Amino acid sequence: MTRTTAKGRFITLEGGEGAGKTTLSRALAGALAARGRPVLRTREPGGAPGAEAIRGLLLGRGPWDPVAEAMLHFAARREHLARTVLPALESGIWVVCDRFADSTLAYQGAGQGLSRDVWERLCDLALGALRPDLTLVLDLPPERGMGRALSRGDANRYEQAGDAFHARVRAAFLEIAAREPGRCAVLDAGQPAEAVLGSALGLVTERLEG
Ligand code: Z5A
């Protein structure tokens, strides 16, 4: 998948449960719109009809074999890119996406034991050369994030995984950010939501509008 004519920018938000991705996605999209940017908010797994159907399988059923689970995430992602993300970017719309391929490396890789090699092969197949322009990693101790997430009600399959799983997922996101500092930045998600938005907007200005 390539994006030779795109004028939009692709911003992804990553991090553990309850870190504030949805909250930031909403606020960031609003702030970008106020700056005159056409903007689309979307999420993974999901963001297109077929991908939302796969989301139902991933969150509602299981357990899955880790490779099968990663393939389902990438099938949903491919559908999301083809139907929603790429058409938007190509028409100049900025896309703010709640989770993307880094989540598969963190959850299915560090969390469930999928190898990096398989993840890279799935990226090649499903994404081609496409990568986010900016990835904001919202970092929060898992117990704080889970407290926030569970206060909303029923826990999904991933939220029910144990403390050690969530600690590995957090470490994996920090490692991804350290490995690709040009694409990624880590935000302290323990700050008030307004401060997280301020940091995010500063990074957008510096890296995408400078
Ligand atoms: N998954 C995977 O395994 N592999 C993959 O490749 C992909 C996903 C793409 C999707 O679940 C699941 O799929 C996910 C990983 C897996 N695991 N889980 N669960 P989801 O979409 O249902 O959930 P989520 O992505 O983890 O999001 P979330 O739980 O909704 O959390 P969030 O979006 O980061 O947080 P929030 O909804 O913005 O905030 C949670 C609460 O905290 C809410 O009451 C807010 O008002 C509050 N909040 C937010 N920010 C703050 C601050 N700064 N201070 C205080 N309170 C705050």
**Is 18 near ligand 1, meaning CB less than 6 Å away?**
yes
Q: How much distance in Å is there from the Cα of 32 to the middle of ligand 1?
A: 21
Residue 2 lies in a domain: no
CATH label of the domain that carries residue 25 = 3.40.50.300
Q: Could you report the per-residue pLDDT of 194-203, keeping only the tens digit for each?
A: 999 999 999 9
197 neighbors 138 (Cβ within 8 angstroms): no
Contact 173, 15 (CB under 8 A): yes
Identify whether 59 is part of a domain: yes
Convert the pLDDT of each residue in 38-59 to its tens digit: 999 999 999 999 999 999 999 9
Helices (H) and strands (E) in the chain, counts: 9, 5
- Over its length of 210 residues, how does the chain's per-residue pLDDT go in tens digits? 655 445 899 999 999 999 999 999 999 999 999 999 999 999 999 999 999 999 999 998 889 999 999 999 999 999 999 999 999 999 999 999 999 999 999 999 999 999 999 999 999 999 999 999 999 999 999 999 988 888 877 778 888 888 999 999 999 999 999 999 999 999 999 999 999 999 999 999 999 997
In a domain, residue 24? The reply is: yes
Q: How far apart are the first and last CA of the chain?
A: 27
pLDDT at position 154:
74
- Residue 34, domain member (yes or no): yes
Q: Is residue 4 part of a domain?
A: no
Which residues span the domain enclosing 44? 10-209
* Nearest C-alpha neighbor of 168 from the set 109, 92, 100, 81: 109
- Count the domains in the chain: 1
* Sequence letter at residue 46: G
Ligand 1 binding pocket includes 109 (Cβ within 6 Å): no
Beta carbon of 17 within 6 Å of any ligand 1 atom: yes
Task: Name, in order, each residue with C-beta under 8 angstroms of 121's C-beta and a sequence gap of 6 or more.
Answer: none
Residue pair 175/167 in contact (Cβ under 8 Å)? The answer is no
Q: Name the residue of 23, 44, 105, 119 whose CB sits within 8 Å of the most ligand 1 atoms, as the mutation to test its pocket.
A: 23
Domain contains 5: no
Nearest CA to ligand 1 atom 24: 17
